Amino acid sequence: MSSHRTADLGFARLDLDRAARTGTPEVVYAAGKTPAETVACLAALLDGGAPIAFATRVDDPTAAAVLERWADAVVDDAARVVFVGELPEPEGEVLVLSAGTSDGPVAAEVAATLAALGVGCRRVDDVGVAGVHRVLAVSEELARADAVVVVAGMDGALPGVVAGLTDRLVVAVPTSVGYGAAFEGLAPLLTMLTACAPGVVVVNIDNGFGAAVAAAKVVRSQR
Amino acid sequence: MSSHRTADLGFARLDLDRAARTGTPEVVYAAGKTPAETVACLAALLDGGAPIAFATRVDDPTAAAVLERWADAVVDDAARVVFVGELPEPEGEVLVLSAGTSDGPVAAEVAATLAALGVGCRRVDDVGVAGVHRVLAVSEELARADAVVVVAGMDGALPGVVAGLTDRLVVAVPTSVGYGAAFEGLAPLLTMLTACAPGVVVVNIDNGFGAAVAAAKVVRSQR
Amino acid sequence: MSSHRTADLGFARLDLDRAARTGTPEVVYAAGKTPAETVACLAALLDGGAPIAFATRVDDPTAAAVLERWADAVVDDAARVVFVGELPEPEGEVLVLSAGTSDGPVAAEVAATLAALGVGCRRVDDVGVAGVHRVLAVSEELARADAVVVVAGMDGALPGVVAGLTDRLVVAVPTSVGYGAAFEGLAPLLTMLTACAPGVVVVNIDNGFGAAVAAAKVVRSQR
Amino acid sequence: MSSHRTADLGFARLDLDRAARTGTPEVVYAAGKTPAETVACLAALLDGGAPIAFATRVDDPTAAAVLERWADAVVDDAARVVFVGELPEPEGEVLVLSAGTSDGPVAAEVAATLAALGVGCRRVDDVGVAGVHRVLAVSEELARADAVVVVAGMDGALPGVVAGLTDRLVVAVPTSVGYGAAFEGLAPLLTMLTACAPGVVVVNIDNGFGAAVAAAKVVRSQR
Amino acid sequence: MSSHRTADLGFARLDLDRAARTGTPEVVYAAGKTPAETVACLAALLDGGAPIAFATRVDDPTAAAVLERWADAVVDDAARVVFVGELPEPEGEVLVLSAGTSDGPVAAEVAATLAALGVGCRRVDDVGVAGVHRVLAVSEELARADAVVVVAGMDGALPGVVAGLTDRLVVAVPTSVGYGAAFEGLAPLLTMLTACAPGVVVVNIDNGFGAAVAAAKVVRSQR
Amino acid sequence: MSSHRTADLGFARLDLDRAARTGTPEVVYAAGKTPAETVACLAALLDGGAPIAFATRVDDPTAAAVLERWADAVVDDAARVVFVGELPEPEGEVLVLSAGTSDGPVAAEVAATLAALGVGCRRVDDVGVAGVHRVLAVSEELARADAVVVVAGMDGALPGVVAGLTDRLVVAVPTSVGYGAAFEGLAPLLTMLTACAPGVVVVNIDNGFGAAVAAAKVVRSQR
Amino acid sequence: MSSHRTADLGFARLDLDRAARTGTPEVVYAAGKTPAETVACLAALLDGGAPIAFATRVDDPTAAAVLERWADAVVDDAARVVFVGELPEPEGEVLVLSAGTSDGPVAAEVAATLAALGVGCRRVDDVGVAGVHRVLAVSEELARADAVVVVAGMDGALPGVVAGLTDRLVVAVPTSVGYGAAFEGLAPLLTMLTACAPGVVVVNIDNGFGAAVAAAKVVRSQR
Amino acid sequence: MSSHRTADLGFARLDLDRAARTGTPEVVYAAGKTPAETVACLAALLDGGAPIAFATRVDDPTAAAVLERWADAVVDDAARVVFVGELPEPEGEVLVLSAGTSDGPVAAEVAATLAALGVGCRRVDDVGVAGVHRVLAVSEELARADAVVVVAGMDGALPGVVAGLTDRLVVAVPTSVGYGAAFEGLAPLLTMLTACAPGVVVVNIDNGFGAAVAAAKVVRSQR
C-alpha cells in the first residue's frame, strides 16, 4: 500500500508516508543518535519527498554536522531544533504560555515545531500563578487563539488556572525544571493530570514537540 | 462582571457562567457529596438558566434522589451519570474506542458526557492490541471521526497504535482496570504519556468526563 | 521538673504540661483507640487541670461514649471532633479557605481545633482556581486575617495562588480527596511543596489539626 | 492597579509590586538563568525602586558578573546568595538550627535570606538527635526566639523533637543530604510531615529561602 | 541429615529442625491459612517434638479452632498470637518501647514472641519524642536491658533518639500506624533506615515477630 | 482473512482464531465481567469451534452460573478457574514450585491453566529458601521437567536459587502475598527482575495464567 | 561434587561448572570490575576448560586490556561485549526486534550473547508500533523463529503487539531509553508486565544478556 | 554531666562522650566535609582523649590531608576509611559475606570499621545464591562466628538464605550495586526487609559502617 513506504537505513526504518497517514511528518529525534545518523535520517526524509525535514533534541555537534551538509539549514539554539528545507506559511494561531524563565527551552521547542508544521504561534513567557494578574493579563490573547499550550515546571498550576478562563483546548506540558519535591517533573505532571478545570490534556515531561503536534491537529481540523 | 455569577449554597459555590466563559457548563461531581447536596447543585444550575444539568460519579442513592425530584431525569447506569433537562442535538462525531470489556464504565462516561455537551459519539469496544487486526478494522471509523478518545487499562498500549493510523487528535484515558504491576492505572498512564506516536494527549486515570470535554472542544472549534 | 508531669494510664502516658511548654495542650487522637480509651484520656487531661479537653478523628461509638460520660460535651459531626469543658474566648482571626466541597471535613477540623485553642476563624468554602475570580473575591478577607489556612485536594493549586495575594503566612493542607493521579493526596502535597509563591508552608495530608495549631501559634505570637 | 506593575525583560516578567502585595519582594532564582539574565533581573528590581535586590542559587560565574556590575555587591559563598543595595536593620530573631554540618549550605541560605528581609537570626549548627542533650542545650535560645527554622537531612527527626520543647512555630526544611534510603531528601520530608509534635510546618527539600520567608512573616506579624 | 527433617502436610512442608539449626523454632504465620491449616501445622510441630508451638497473626476463628483442639492453649488477644504447650522460663531482658498507643498490637507481638522464645521482656509504652523527657525517663531501663526493641509509626523518630542513649543494639520496628504521608509505614521505615545514631537495625513494617527473634538472638548469644 | 474471525457480543469482541495464530486459545478473564457475560463468552468460544473453553478469576456467582449452563463444567476452587469441554491429553511436564502455602492459589492457577492447555504439571509447594535443603530436595524433579514455574511472594528469592540449579527456563511469578515492605508484590517483582542467575524471566504479579502460557510455549516448541 | 568446582581469585569465586549445571557458562559482568579483574576472570574461565569466555558491559580500557592479553579476542563495540576463544556453530534462530534506533546497544547485547551461546540470531531494528505496518511486515520472520526477543524503551508497547501475532515465546526487554515519564525504563517495564497478550515474559531493564540466555534455553530445549 | 562533653568547632559540635554513653565512639562522616574540616574533627576527637579516631567516606584529597597531618595514619583505599591512632586488639569474630565482587567496597567498610572498634572479622566474598553450594560451603565459618554481616546488591537474596543456616544474628546491608530494576539499592533493601527467615535485620543502603557497629554491639555484649 502506497501509504506505507519505508526508508530502511539499517539503523533506522523511516516512515515516509506518516504525513499522509497521520497529518504529521516523521521527525528525527536526535537524542541517542550520532550526528551522522541524524544527517542520514534528514536526508532520507528529504529524498522521500518531504518539503521540510527537522530534528529535535539536537546537540552542538549534530547542529554542526547538519549545517555542514546543508548550509541553509536553520538551527534554533533555544529549542535545540534544526530545519532543512522551506518553512511552510503559518496558518491559525496557537498561544504558548510558559510559567517561568527556566521553562523557556521547552516553550521554544513548542514554537519551533509549530513553525515546521505550518501553524502560527504567539508566545508569552513568565506567566506564573504567584502573580495571578499576570495570567489575567493574557485574556485577550486567550480569546484570539485556536488552541493553547501551557508549559510549566515546579507546581505546574498554570494550566488549571488558564483552562478556567478560556473555551479553547489547553495542552499542558510539565517540565523537569525545579528541585526537591518537583522530582524531575513528577510534581507538575500530577498537578496537570488532576487539574480541576476540565479541558486540560497533558503530554510527557519536557515534550514540547508532542504538545505542538497536538495543538496543530486542533488548528488544522478547523480549516 | 456578568460572566462571574456564582450560586452560593453554603457547602458549594457554583460557577453559573462557566459555560459562557469556557464553553463547558459547570458539572456536578457527585463523589463525596450527599444525595441532597447533588440534588441542590443540579437545582441551582437549572435555576441559573442552564437548559440541562448533569452529575457524574453518581451512586444508587443519589440517582434515586434525583429521580424523586425530577421524574423525567435520565440515569445512565453504565456511566454513573444523571441528566436533568433536554439533551442538545448532537453535532460532529467523536470515536470512542476501549481496549477491554472492563474499561466499559469509563467509555460510557465519555459517551454520556458527549451527549450532554451536544456532541455525537460512536463507540467501539474491546479493541485490544493483542489482536491488532481488531485495531486495523476501525480504520474507516477513524477516518470519519472529528476526534478520537481511547480508553485503556492494563498496558495502555492502544492509543499509541491508534495515533499511528489517523491524523485526528487522540485523547487517551488510562483506567484503573488491571492488577499487579498495573498499579491502579499507573502503568497505562505512563505508557500513554510516553507513546511514540505524536498527537496523543492524556487525562487523569478513569477521567472519562475530562476526555469528553477535551474532545468536544476540538469538535466545536471546527464549527 | 513541674513542666514534665505525666499521667500514666498504662496504654498511654499523657503529657500534662504540654500546654505550659509548647503553648498547645495535649490532644487525644482517637483513631486507633477504643471509645473507653479516648474517654479515659479526656478524663485524665481534665483531672490534670485542663479547662478544656478535646479529641480528633472521633467515630460514632466514641462520640456516644463521650456524651454518656459528659452530657454537656460538644460533638462536631463534620469535623469528627469532641470537646469537653468550656471553649475559650476567641482571639484574632484565621481565614480558612477550601478548594472544593469534598474538602469540607478537613476544613471543619481546622475550624474546630481553632475554636478549642481560642482562636477566631472565618471559613470560605469551594474557592477553586478553575474559577479564579472566586479567589480574587476573598481579597478583603485575606487583608483582614492574621494567618491563612488553605485546604485543597486534587491538584492542590489554591495555596500558591492565594500566597501571591497576601502578606500573611499561608498554611497549606493537602487532602486525600480526588482519584487516579491524585494518589491519595500525593499530588496536592507535591504541588504545595513546590508552589512558586514563597510563604507557603505545608502540613501532612488531611492534617487539619496540625494546620490549626500552626496558625494559632502565629496568631498568639502577635498578642 | 498600581500594585501590579511588571517589568517585562522578554525572557522574564518581574513583579515589581510583590513586596507591597505580599510583604516579600520579588527575588531572583538564579538557577537556570544565565549570568546576564540574573544581572538584568537585579537591575530591573533596583530600577523599580527596591532598596535591596538579591538572588539565590548563584553559581561562580553569576557571582562574578554581579560583582562586575555592582562592585559593592555582597556575595555569601556558603549560601550561594548575592545582595545588591543596603541590608535593612534586623528586627526580631529567628533561631536557625541545623542537624549536621552537611546541612550548612541550606542553613546559610536561611540566614542570608533573613538578613535581606530585615529579620534577625541566630544560628546553631550540628544539633543532632543522636545526642539529644545537644538539643536540650538550646532551650534558652528556643525561649527567646520569635520563630524557629530547623534544617535537617537523613532521618529529619530534629524538628519533631524541637517542636516538643517550644511554643514557637517550627518551620522544617528537609535537605537532600544523605545517601541510600534518604532518597535525595524524601526520607526527611516524610519524617517532618508526619512529626508527632503539632506545630511543625514544612517547605520543599533544600528550600532555605522559603523557610526564611515564612519565618519572617511570623516575626513581622508581631510588630 | 537429621537436622533437615520435614513434616509434609500437603499444603505445607514444616521445617522440624529449624530450632536445632537456627536457634528459632518454625513458627506458624496464620495469615492466609484456614483455621484447620493452622491447627494442623501446630499439631505437626508438637508431634515433631517441640515443647511449645505458636502461631502469629491469628484471627478470631483460628483462635477458637486452636482452643477447641487444645483447651489449655493460651490466646494473647492484643498480640494476635496463640501458644500451645509450656512457656519456657525467661532468661535475660529485652526492653520494648513503643512510641504511641496505636503501636500497641505490634509491641504486644514482640512481647508474646519473646515469651515463647524464653526471653524476658519489659514494656514501656507511649514514649514519644514530642515529649523527649518521656524518653529520658527510661534511661535506667535502658541501662539494664540486654537489647532494645523500639516500635514506632508516623515519623518513626524514636529509635534514633534511643540509640544515642544506650550501648545496646536497638532493633527498630516501623508500624503502619499513621495517615497521609506516613504511607502505610514507608515514612517510619525510611526514618529508621537513615537514623543518624549508629547501632539501629530495622525489620519489616509491623514485624514484631522478627524483631523479637533478632533481640532473642542477642540475648542468647550472651549466655 | 480466515485467521481473524471475531465473535462480536456487543460488550466483547472475541478473537476466535487466536489459537491458530498464537497457539493459545482466547481465554475469558472473568474479573470485571458479570456472570452472564462470562457465560456468554464461554458459549461463543465453544460455538466458534473450540474443544474446550475456560475462564480465570472466577468468583462464586460466576462459577454457579457456569454450572447451571453446563452441568458437566469443572470448577477448580483453589485456582478460581472453570472449564467447559474436554481437557486435552497432557504432554510434557512443567514443574511448578511455590515458596509458601499462601502462594497456593496462584500456583493452582498455573496448574489449572496448564491442564487446559494440554501440558503436564507437577507441583511442589512450600519450598522456601529459609530452609534451602527443601530447595535442594527437588533437584530430581528439576532435572526431569521441560520448564519450571516458580511462584513466590514476600522476598521472592526462590526463582534465583532454582535457576542456579537447572538448565531449564525458569518462569517467575511474584505474588501479592506478604505485608509491609512487600508492597503488594513489588518486592518479589523487583527481586525476580534482578535475580543474579540468568535464565529467569518474569510475569505480572499473581499472573499464574501468563506463566502457564509461557511454560506451555516452551514445552510445545519441543514436540 | 565435580559439578561444583570453583576458581577462587580472592576478589571473585568463579563457578566453573555452571555450564554443566545450568546450560549457561559463567559470564563476566565487567561493570564494577577493574580491567585487570575482568582479564583475570576470563583467564580463569579459560583455564577451567571453557572453549569460549566472554564479558559484558565492557568499557574501553577493559576492552584494550583484553586485546592486549589475547590478540585474537573479539570486541563488539555496539554491544560492549568481548569474546576470547572460538565462537560455537549457531543452531536454531532467535528473532530480535527493537522498537527504536536508540535501543540498538541492548539489541546488540542480545545478539552478541546469542552468538557466544551458539544460537542463531536475526535482527530487525526500528519496528515501532507508531507505524504498525512495520510490525506486520515481520510476520514471516516471526513464523520462522524458534523464539522472539523484543527490545523497547519509552512506552514499551511492541512486545504485546508481537505476542498477538505469533505462537513463539516473546522475551521482552525494557530499555532505559526515553525521558520524562519513561522514568529510566520503569514505564516500558510496567507496560510489558501488564501486556494483554499472554506469552510475554520480561527481564530486567537493559538486560539484553538475560533475554538472550532465556531465548537460548528455549531454542536448545528443542534440539 | 560528664558524659555530655562537646567539642564545638563552629561548623560541627562533636560528641566526646559518645563512646562512654553508647559504646561506639563519635566517628567522622567525611562526605560533605572539606579535607580541613575532617582533619579538624579527627584532631578534636584525639584531643578529647580518644585512643583512635577514624573517618569514613573519605575521598583522595581528604586522605592526603590526613596523611599530611599524621604521617602514621592508615588509609584503607578499598573501604575509603582513614584511621589515626592505635588499632585496638580484636575480640570475637564477625563473619562478613558479600554476594558479588562489586559489593567489595561496602564489605571493606564493614571490615575496616570492625577493626577500628576492636572486633575480629573474617571476610568471604562473592558468595552468590545463583550457586547455592557456594553458600553451603561457608557453613563452618557460620558456626564459628559471633555475628554475621551479609552485603548484597541486585536481588539481595543472600541474607535470607544465610539466616536459614545459622543461629547467629544476620545484619543485612543492601548495596546500590546493580542496574535497572535494582533502583539504586531499593530492590535488595525490600528483599532483605521481607526475607522469610526470621533473624535478619537491615541497615541503610551501602551503610557498611552501621552494620559493623551493630555487629560489634552483639559481639561485645557477649564478653
pLDDT of residue G173: 98
Coil, strand or helix at C220: helix
Residue H209 parent element (H or E): helix H208-221
The arithmetic mean of pLDDT across residues G177-187, rounded, is 94
Place of cell 572539606: H34
Q: Judging by beta carbons within 10 Å of its beta carbon (0-12, 13-18, 19+), is residue F89 exposed, middle or buried?
A: exposed
Question: What's the full length of chain E, in residues?
Answer: 223
Q: What is the pLDDT of residues A64-101, one digit of tens each?
A: 999 999 999 999 999 999 999 989 999 999 999 999 88
Pull the grid cell for residue G176: 532505559
DSSP A108-131: HHHHHHHHHHTEEEEEE----GGG
DSSP code for E3: G
Q: What is the mean pLDDT of residues E144-160?
A: 96
CA distance F138 to D156: 48
- Whole-angstrom distance between the N-terminal and C-terminal Cα of chain A? 28
Selected residue of F102, F176, F194, F202 to mutate for chain H interface (largest H Cβ count, 10 A) = F194
Tell whether D209 lies on the interface with C, counting CB pairs under 8 A.
Answer: yes
For range C4-32, the mean pLDDT: 84
Task: Say yes or no: D45 contacts chain C, CB-CB below 8 A.
Answer: no
- Per-residue pLDDT at D174: 98
D196, E154: Cβ pair inside 8 Å?
yes
CA–CA separation, H192 and H159 (whole Å) = 7
ipTM (interface predicted TM): 0.94
Question: CB–CB of D190 and E197 under 8 A?
Answer: no
CA distance F206 to F31: 13
3-state secondary structure of H144: helix
Q: What average pLDDT score do residues C195-219 get?
A: 95
**pLDDT value of residue H3:** 65
Residue C34: its pLDDT value, please? 92
Cβ-Cβ contacts under 8 Å, E25 against chain F: none
Asked if the model's pLDDT at residue A1 lies above 60, the reply is no
Most G CBs within 10 Å: which of B175, B196, B201, as the mutation test of the G interface?
B196
Q: What percent of chain B has pLDDT over 90?
A: 73
Cell 576458581 belongs to residue: G7
Locate the chain B residue with the closest alpha carbon to F21: B131
Q: Does residue F45 belong to the interface with chain G, where contact is any CB pair within 8 Å?
A: no
Segment E172-191 shows an average pLDDT of: 96
Residues of E in contact with H23 (CB under 8 A): 167, 199
> Does residue E195 carry a pLDDT above 80?
yes
Cα dihedral: C102, C107, C113, C117 (round 10): -170
The neighbour count for residue B51, using CB atoms within 10 Å, is 12
**Would the pLDDT of C2 be above 70?**
no
Number of CB pairs, chain E paired with chain H, less than 8 A apart: 113
What pLDDT score does B223 carry? 58
Nearest CA in chain E to H161: E22
Nearest chain C CA: its distance from D138 CA (Å): 14
The three-state DSSP-derived secondary structure of F45-103 is HHHCCCCEEEEECCCHHHHHHHHHHCCCCEEECCCCEEEEECCCCCEEEEEEEECCHHH
Q: How many cross-chain Cβ pairs, D to H, lie less than 8 Å apart?
A: 47
**Contact between A206 and G180 using a beta-carbon 8 Å cutoff:** yes
Phi, psi of C87 (to 5 degrees): -70, 135
> What is the overall mean pLDDT for chain F?
92
CB contact residues (below 8 A), chain A span 148-177, against chain C:
154-157, 160-161, 163-165
H132 pLDDT tier (thresholds 50, 70, 90): confident
With 90 as the cut, is the pLDDT of residue A63 above it?
yes
CA distance linking residue G107 with residue G208, whole number of Å: 6
pLDDT value at residue F2? 39
Residue G131 pLDDT > 90: no
Interchain pair B101, F189: CB under 8 A: no
Query: What pLDDT was estimated at residue E132?
Result: 86
- Give the residue carrying C-alpha cell 529549542: A79
Q: How many beta-carbon pairs below 8 A join chains B and F? A: 45
**Cβ-nearest to G202 among F163, F197, F202:** F202
Among A124-138, F17-31, G95-109, name the most confident range.
G95-109
Neighbours of chain G (3+ CB pairs under 8 A): A, B, F, H
Q: Tell which wins on pLDDT, C15 or C191.
A: C191
pLDDT band for position H76 (50/70/90)? very high
Give counts: helices (H), strands (E), chain A. 9, 11
What are the grid coordinates assigned to B122, written together?
460512536
* Higher-confidence position of D51 and A200: A200
Place of cell 494546620: C211
Contact B1 C133 (CB under 8 A): yes
Q: What is the DSSP letter of H86?
A: P
With contact defined as beta carbons under 8 Å apart, do A4 and G123 qualify? no
Residue D2 pLDDT > 50, yes or no?
no
Query: HEC states along A68-112?
Result: HHCCCCEEECCCCEEEEECCCCCEEEEEEEECCHHHHHHHHHHHH
3-class secondary-structure state, position G77:
coil
Q: Is pLDDT of A116 > 70? A: yes
Is the pLDDT score of E223 beyond 80? Answer: no
Q: How confident is the model at residue G133 (pLDDT cuts 50, 70, 90)?
A: confident
Question: How far does the CA of residue F143 sit from the closest CA of chain G (Å)?
Answer: 10
